[in-house]
Amino acid sequence: MDFSLTPEQELFRKSAREFALKELEPIATEIDREHRVPLEILKKLGELGYLGMTVPEEYGGIGADMLSYVVVMEELSRSCASTSTAFSVQNSLCNTLLVEFGNEAQKRKYLPDLAAGKRFGAFALTEPESGSDAAGMKTTAVAKGDYFILNGSKRFITSAGFADIFLVFALTDPAAGNRGVSCFIVERGTPGFTVGKEEDKLGIRGTSTCELFFEDCKVPKENLVGELNRGFKVAMVTLNSGRIAIAAQAVGIAQAALDEAIKYSKERKAFGKFLSEFQAIQFMLADMKAKVEAARLLTYKAAWKKDHKLDYIMDSSIAKLYAAEIASEVTDQALQIHGGYGYIRDYKVERLYRDARITRIYEGTSEIQKLIIARELLKE
């Protein structure tokens, strides 16, 4: 068993860390306060190839392995979870979906621009009344001539405010439940398609999250991704791998909280001693480190299994569940070490505490991860 990263993976880590320190660290607080998406930074990520990490070279990407992608996700998240969220939506939920399920024409048409950050994508599965029960969606797509006519709405769609290409799931056979779902590419500007208001969120405030509305929206038949009525599987397979990146995001946020806690405990004095000299604080730091390390190993293992074409469904859910849960615990402990200073916006740990919370919700709640793990354990 070899736990070391390859020289290429190490290089990805180093360059991502440098990028994060130079470009993200200085703006992370500001975009959080202003609730602003740093489009200029996202474009830079595209120019440097980061938005095409999971795209093969023939379609304009850099064809990196999953572990490299995960390592980059972790490093970006240490500095700015908002930026890493948009980075993962593009890579995990749009590009990977098109690479794995798109036809040749769709890949040639969309992937080069997505990989270069010239256009942005969004993944539209959740609806106002269906989140965890993804197949409970109400949006329909009815075949008519050369088009599908979409009607319905989507909610909590990340990157929607600035995305150009939306991967939308809709019922093409409502009576068939999850066997009647299909996936479509809907471009911004398609008549009948509108993007609604921005949500005002607790964390990852430098991201855009909106509602989508479809009113007799005519989508060309060639925009069907994968087979008709097999879209649920497309969503599930895409989320299996997306969850590994969210686990990496949680690891990155937790690592940043640990870094901040160590720094603060060496600067701040109480009762005539540095906080770091108190065993109570040392034990908290040790607990945090053990949790971060365990979450990282689970995340890397899931990525490694994907790279080695092994079944990784359970590993991805275990990594996402554990990393997301400990990110909340570790950011909470880091905030506690900061005392009152952790509760005000001047300190990074306050943002980390809020940003960590979403990792227990999106791309499947912690409860959904437990359900998937249990199903895998109990299946024949």
Which residues are identified as catalytic? 363
Greatest C-alpha distance within the chain: 79
CB of residue 158 to ligand COS, shortest distance in Å: 7
Indicate whether 178 belongs to the interface with ligand COS (CB under 6 A): yes
Q: Interface with ligand COS by CB under 6 A: which range of 51-59, 132-140, 142-150, 284-292?
A: 132-140
Indicate whether 313 belongs to the interface with ligand COS (CB under 6 A): yes
As beta bridge partners, residue 337 has: none
* DSSP calls for 47-109: HTTGGGTTS-GGGTS----HHHHHHHHHHHHHH-HHHHHHHHIIIIIIIHHHHHH--HHHHHH
Alpha helix (H) ranges present in the chain?
7-19, 28-34, 39-47, 66-79, 81-88, 96-101, 104-116, 231-267, 279-307, 313-338, 348-357, 366-378
Indicate whether 297 belongs to the interface with ligand COS (CB under 6 A): no
Residues from 227 through 266 that contact ligand COS (CB under 6 A): 232-233, 236-237, 239-240
Indicate whether 90 belongs to the interface with ligand COS (CB under 6 A): no
Residues from 92 through 121 that contact ligand COS (CB under 6 A): none
* Residue that the structure tokens 């995001």 belong to: 249
The sign of the CA dihedral 293, 294, 298, 299 is negative
Distance CA 168, CA 141 (A): 10
Indicate whether 208 belongs to the interface with ligand COS (CB under 6 A): no
CB of residue 178 to ligand COS, shortest distance in Å: 4
Q: Interface with ligand COS by CB under 6 A: which range of 207-215, 286-294, 340-348, 359-367?
A: 359-367
CB of residue 95 to ligand COS, shortest distance in Å: 15
* Residue that the structure tokens 């993944």 belong to: 123
Q: Which residue is nearest to ligand COS (CB)?
A: 364
Among 22, 33, 129, 132, binds ligand COS (CB under 6 A): 132
Q: How many CB atoms lie within 10 A of CB 375?
A: 12
Indicate whether 276 belongs to the interface with ligand COS (CB under 6 A): no
Query: Which positions lie near ligand COS, rule CB under 6 A?
Result: 125-126, 132-135, 178-179, 232-233, 236-237, 239-240, 313, 362-364, 368, 371-372
